[in-house]
Every structure is written in structure tokens, then in C-alpha cells.
Structure 1
Amino acid sequence: MKFLYNHLASLFLVMFLASCMSKPMPPTPPTTSNDITGKTWKLTEINGKPIALKNPKSNPYFSLNMKEMRYEGNGGCNGVGGTFEIKQEMMRIKFNQGMSTMMACDDLETEQLFTKALLAADNYSVNGNTLSLNKARMAPLAKFVLQK
């Protein structure tokens, strides 16, 4: 009887220790799909129309640096940059007038529309790898794809 008691006690101890060791891991916080910072976004559409570039290597893009609260990018020929404000939980954004280089380029129209869209945007939406910059509830000013 003593043997059975010791054996059962050992079995319960092993089961207890095993249950303590197999605690589920705490869930990892979900990644927010509205976090557009620290990524490079390449322009694909402006004012509802796909962009047509004379030089495909000159695709406009931008990225947001949260540490310095600055945006930087390229309009296709000239570098652009400045400060921005963002409220990710509300998906609101404001690009402040910044600086731009002033080189003469073949495709200044796309560059000007790109810069105008950045400065006019007051909110954004994300759908997968596509970012839309919007003004109020109107159609998107510009659409971007996540650059890999």
C-alpha cells in the first residue's frame, strides 16, 4: 500500500510540474496595420490615375522617421523632406511644408502633383501593402505601394 501511495504521489508531482511548465505564452500584441512609419512608400497613382513615368527609375517615394518626426523622399528628380504630425490611432497625418532641391527635370508635372498630394493630405488608409493619402472623405489624393 505504501508503494502505491508513493507511486501516486510521484505521479501527481510530475503532473503538477508538467502543468506548471506548459503555461501558454502570453499573446503577442497584434501589429497595427495603420503603422506606416519606418517604411518606404512608392507612388503608384495620383488623383485616381496610374502614374506614367518617362523614366521608371525616377519613381517618387517617401518614408516617415518617427524618431525625428521628419519625412524624406524623392519626387522623381528632386529630393523632398520636412516635418510631419501623425495620430496613428485615428489614421490622421499632416505633412508640413519642407524643403526640396531645385533641379530641372523631364517630368516635373508628376513631381509637383506628388508634393501637392503630400501637403494636402490630412488622413490615410492602409489596405495590405497599399497606402492611400486622403483629404477629408474625398477620393484618395495619391496611392503608394510598400517598397520591398
Structure 2
Amino acid sequence: MKKLHIYLLMLSVFTFLFCCTTKNAQQNNVDITGKTWKLIEINGQPLKLKDPKNNPYFSLNKADMRYSGKGGCNGVGGSFEIKQDIMRIKFNQGMSTMMACDDLETEQLFTKALLSADNYSVNGNTLTLNKARMAPLAKFILQK
């Protein structure tokens, strides 16, 4: 009888853990396309801009599988690939305008983060681009 209770207790725990894991996976499996994502952190450091109007951002257009945005003062864009079920993403080298800017370092870090990312995670209104299991490359908030 005692073994039956232990068995039922273990079964309850495994069922609970499975349900929680499935629920978290579904919450993180958010469609990130069709939204504008504003950069707030790069390489683990909060974004410090000389001019807040030049905040880097990007959006993903699923219809033509293209991304577009602004690295600060220069426009960026190209194609992308996404596998939402496993939260994988790949930004392909695209175009960029070449205007002289006050803050080219942030712009270059932003572009490098996009092109280096191979996966992402979502927590509420925060999108994180990652490379493998290393520290996050960049964090973005949903622009409203």
C-alpha cells in the first residue's frame, strides 16, 4: 500500500511538472513578426544613446520574410528565416544606408547582434536575441 502511495505521488509530481513546462513553452512561443522591437540592451549593457530619437529598432515582415529597421541613423534590412516552434532565427546580410552618424558604435553593435543571433526568447514584452547558449546579444522591448 505504501508503494502505491509513493507511485501516485510521483505520478502527480511528474504530471504537474509536465503541465508547467508545456505552459511555459506555449507562453514563450510568441509570434514576434509584425511587431516593432526597440533595442534596450546590447551585450549585457543598458543602451546609452547620445540622442534618444536614434534608438535602434527592427521589425519582421513574415509575408515576404524580410526584416527592416534602423540602427540609429542608418536604415538596415534583409531577409530572415524563423522557426517559431523551436525559437530559432537567422538574419541574413542585407542592405544598410551609409550616412555618417554620431553614434556608429551602437549601430555597428546592433547590426552585429542581428547577424550573429541564432535563437531568441520572449518574456512578456521583452525579446532577447541569443547566440547558442551564450549570454544574450541584445534585448528589445515591444514598441507601442
Common fold, TM-score beyond 0.5? yes
Q: TM-score, normalised by structure 2?
A: 0.80
Structure 1: 4+ residue segments shifted above 6 A: none
TM-score (norm 1): 0.78
Deviates more, 1:33-42 or 1:113-122: 33-42
Tell which structure's C-alpha radius of gyration is larger.
Answer: 1
Give the RMSD, CA atoms, in angstroms: 1.3
Query: Which residue of structure 2 lines up, in the alignment, with residue 35 of structure 1?
Result: 31
Where does residue 86 of structure 2 map in the other structure? 90
More helix by share: 2
Identical counterparts, % of pairs: 82
Contact 2:37 2:143 in 1 (8 A): yes
User: Structure 1, residues 62-106: CA drift from partner, whole Å, max 9, x if none?
Assistant: 000000000000000100000000000000000000000000000
**C-alpha separation in 1, matches of 2:50 and 2:34:** 28
Task: Report the counterpart of residue 14 of structure 1 in structure 2.
Answer: none
Cα distance per residue 1:26-75 (max 9 Å; x no partner): xxxx8874210000000000000001000000000000000000000000
In the alignment, is residue 101 of structure 1 matched against residue 123 of structure 2? no
C-alpha distance in 1 between matches for 2:29 and 2:112:
25
Unaligned ranges ≥5, structure 1 = 1-29
Structure 1 residue 52 corresponds to structure 2 residue 30: no
Q: How many residues align?
A: 119
Specify the alignment match of 1:132 in structure 2: 128
